[in-house]
Structure 1
Amino acid sequence: MGIATVNPTTLETLQSFSALTPETIQLKLAQSEAAFQSYRQTSFTDRSQWLLKAADMLENPDKSQEYAALMTLEMGKPIQEALGEVKKCAWVCRYYAEQAPLFLASQTIETDAQRSWVCYQPLGIVLAVMPWNFPFWQVFRFAAPALMAGNVGILKHASNVPQCALAIEQILLEAGFPEHVFQTLLISAQQVEMVVKDDRVKAATLTGSEPAGASLAAIAGRQIKKTVLELGGSDPFIILESADLEAAVATAVKARMLNTGQSCIAAKRFIVADAIADPFLEKFTAALSKLALGDPMSPQTEVGPLATTSILEELEQQVQTAIAHGAQVLLGGQRWSDLPGNFYQPTVLTNITKDNPIYAQECFGPVALVFRVADMKAAIALANDSPFGLGASAWTTDPQEQDHLIQHLDAGAVFINGMVKSDPRLPFGGIKRSGYGRELGIQGIHEFVNIKTVWVK
């Protein structure tokens, strides 16, 4: 698809953009490189001041409403969730503005030298290839630590959220960051390769699909350039017999339906102990059936449209194929046609066997897969039987079971009695085909720096 704003609620194309020419891309890279040479000399005090100003702008009531409405317009996120996303972006800005000087402070290490230490220095231009599903948050969680470390950023955002991409560039510029320290490149997916191959670009990070991540990593690998990948997930949500069932059900609904189910860390596979499977299913389907579908600009809407028609069509095909292979539909299973947009009903599927294609797939939409298991051992085996390894949520009040789950679930994050979520204070990332490297926390800011050893005698 071209670079355009297409309202997923009405399917109306509101604005189209032309991709940058190769000559303009070269100009912008030259501007970024020149900006880096001076920006790397700026103080933490200045960088923190600019990032805190960006947080102030994001928290301004009028501005936050404007940014939230832009997200909802371009990709259909319910407006209340969009407002929450803007607030979270301010949080990550404040976190790194305050913590980066500590995270990047030189560390003295006693050796046979008179003095020896480790220091952290910026790399240069870092390319961020970002997705549409959290169009502000994904960018700010990259930009805040990268800019505090002294790097400069270039953003290739998803083609369906160009106005969000341009707005983020403007926020950082108005906050005081020097010109060209953060630039949005409106380019096609095919143009990413020339950017990655450019010697001025030192590293790249991508959040998105597995094929996109594999492509970027291959290109960067041939150039021996550092990458961080945060890819797909099919997170398990395990509920054992001792769980607080009411709390687990309430969280399960939110964990599956947040952002209309379009989240890499959404709970997608609900693995329930046989002893409580029936009451869980009854309560879970009842709660999902009461969710308000509709115009995402309405504060009352809980489930909006899927971001694009192709996503809707793919999800619909996944469900129909699953049904053809024996899956049972307990709720939904079809489009919602009260509005003309990309709407799909909250859906619950059970009786999913291992030979069903959906067993190993990621469902990027409001579709929950429910599995019954005999015990914790079977739950862990099923949870780990996936090509993905991003997050996992498990529910039990038994301390021994909690410890066992933490040790044996193959995931980048394990949440006990809570929903998997990102937090600026904690590292975020996955294993297996969910990617590698970490964002956020101290680990995230260390991904794109030169960790330099210094030895003096």
Structure 2
Amino acid sequence: DLTSLSTLLLMEAFSALPPGLVQCVTGRGDAGRRLVEHDRVNGVAFTGSLKTAQSVAQACARTFKPALIEASGNDPFIVMPSAPVDIAARGVAFAAFLNAGQVCTSAERIYVHEAMHDAFVDHLVGVAKSLRIGNGLDKVDMGPMVSSRERDRYEAILAKAIKQGAKVACGGGRPKGLNHGWFADATVLTGVTPDMEIVNDESFGPVAPIVKVRNLDEAIELTNRSRFGLGANIYTKDLAESMRAVNEIQSGMVWVNVPLLDNDAVPFGGRKLSGIGRELGVEGLDQFRHTKMVLIDPEIREQQGWFPYADAEAWQGSA
């Protein structure tokens, strides 16, 4: 209900199609609930928060209605020593701050090898401070958050992390001079520990919480602790490390040295509490069709195995 304008604009692209073939209904939760529960709706594809996603899945389950669910993400970003520190910092900044962190696959917890931790932090802080924040229709790098409520929610998570001991390397507040709109700084946190809420729940805001790790084993172990499993990123030149991440990380997607790269030909979706089903690719098409088994004999004739059985075929029973 807070992003209807872009969807309504997209509808203009379908103007040449027959009336009613593609429809757009705007509204809040009650409108969505009525659509999901209606008996003439044969399937549902939903993207949104975990709580709402669970409600949608439950409503569909009552009538076994197919449901494609993309819920919350809490994506990790692992940075290993073989990665060029400047490129890694820019990649993390893009993955964490794109759309003010309001992307389902935003990097929300950054696991950095201790051998490059300090240098990486310095580079990331430099990138974060250089971002131009302002009206998204101007020449800027990062715009506002979607609503006052969302910014308040995000700021509460950030404040709790700082209270728990996280250190603000840069940002942490609101940009000066931007009072008309729900803007927030691009924030880098250090000293973050695995038990903090900010790395265990979806923050959905412009923050990069950095957790120092000893090795890839620890990074993967911490990655898989999460309740969520949408996507994951890793920067490394080591092919063996890349394949370990691909095989061992419990997520629906893994980006190796290409954070948030899009390709509509491959399946998109998650594991755990990040949802069920896949969008895009061949697997995505399967979500919107039913498989039906059909056997045809062009002739009408007696089939083998019909009653009555011949004496030789009949079960003789026990002696």
* Alignment TM-score > 0.5, same fold: yes
| Residue identity opposite 1:167 in structure 2 | L
Contact between 2:74 and 2:199, CA under 8 Å: does it hold in 1?
no
Q: C-alpha separation between the residues in 2 aligned to 1:251 and 1:354?
A: 22
- 2:116 partner amino acid: I
Contact residue 265 and residue 421 of structure 1 kept, 8 A:
no
Distance 1:251 1:361 in 2: 22
Which amino acid in 1 is paired with 2:149? S
Q: 1:373 aligns with which of 200, 213, 229?
A: 213
2:13 matched to 1:171?
A: yes
Paired residues of 2:109 and 2:211 also in contact (CA < 8 A): yes
How do 1:153-172 residues align onto structure 2 when only pairs under 5 Å count?
159-172=1-14
1:297 Cα deviation from its structure 2 partner: 1.2
**Residue 259 of structure 1: CA displacement?**
1.0
In structure 2, the partner of 1:57 is none
Residue identity matched to 2:23:
Q
For 2:151 and 2:176, the matched residues in 1 are separated by 12
Q: CA RMSD in A?
A: 1.3
The residue correspondences of 1:49-448 to structure 2 (distance < 5 A) are 159-173=1-15, 176-299=16-139, 301-340=140-179, 341-448=181-288
- TM-score normalised by length of structure 2: 0.89
- What is the one-letter code of the residue matched to 1:381? E
SS in 1 for 2:128: helix
Q: Between the two proteins, what is the percent identity of the paired residues?
A: 33
Cα deviation, 1:140-175, whole Å, max 9, x if unaligned, reads: xxxxxxxxxxxxxxxxxxx123333332333202xx
Where in structure 2 are the equivalents of 1:443-454 lying within 5 Å?
443-454=283-294
Question: What one-letter code is carried by the residue in structure 2 that aligns with 1:280?
Answer: F
Alpha-carbon distance in structure 1 between the residues aligned to 2:244 and 2:274 = 22
Q: What is the aligned partner in structure 1 of residue 316 from structure 2?
A: none
What is the match of residue 106 of structure 1? none
Alpha-carbon distance in 2 for matches of 1:188, 1:315: 21
SS at match of 1:379: helix
Q: Hey, what's the Cα distance between the residues in 1 that align with 2:242 and 2:115?
A: 18
Kept after mapping to 1: 8 A contact 2:50/2:274: yes
Which one has the bigger helix percentage?
Answer: 1
| 1:205/1:229 contact within 8 Å kept | yes
1:391, 1:420 within 8 Å by CA — same for their partners in 2?
Answer: no
CA distance in 2, matches of 1:384, 1:183: 39
Paired residue secondary structure (1:455):
coil
Whether the 8 Å CA contact 1:325–1:356 is kept in 2: the answer is yes
- TM-superposed CA distance for 1:397, in Å, is 1.1
How far residue 388 of structure 1 moved from its aligned partner, in angstroms, is: 1.0
C-alpha distance in 1 between matches for 2:241 and 2:123: 24
CA distance 1:298–1:284, shift in 2 (3 Å)? same
Matches of 2:153 and 2:275, distance apart in 1: 22
TM-aligned CA deviation for residue 355 of structure 1? 3.5
Using the TM superposition, give the Cα deviation of residue 421 of structure 1 relative to its aligned residue in structure 2, in angstroms: 3.4
Alignment partner, residue 110 of structure 1 = none
Unaligned runs of 5+ in 2: 298-319
2:47 & 2:159 partners in 1: Cα distance?
28
> Is residue 337–residue 343 contact of structure 1 (8 Å, CA) maintained in 2?
no
If the length of structure 1 is used for normalisation, what is the TM-score? 0.63
Residue type at the aligned position of 2:70: E
Shift of 1:357: 2.3
* Counterparts of 2:128 and 2:28, CA distance in 1: 37
| Structure 1: runs of 5 or more not aligned | 1-158
Please say if residues 194 and 211 of structure 2, whose CA atoms lie closer than 8 Å, have aligned partners that are also in contact: no
Q: How far off is 1:400 after superposition?
A: 1.4
Distance 1:243 1:268 in 2: 19
Query: Contact between 1:270 and 1:369, CA under 8 Å: does it hold in 2?
Result: yes
Partner AA of 2:72 in structure 1: G
Q: C-alpha distance in 1, partners of 2:229/2:113?
A: 21
Residue type of the alignment partner of 1:165: T
Equivalent residue, structure 2, for 1:123? none
CA distance in 2, matches of 1:359, 1:166: 35
8 Å contact kept, 2:235–2:256: yes
* Aligned mates of 1:166, 1:396 — CA distance in 2: 41
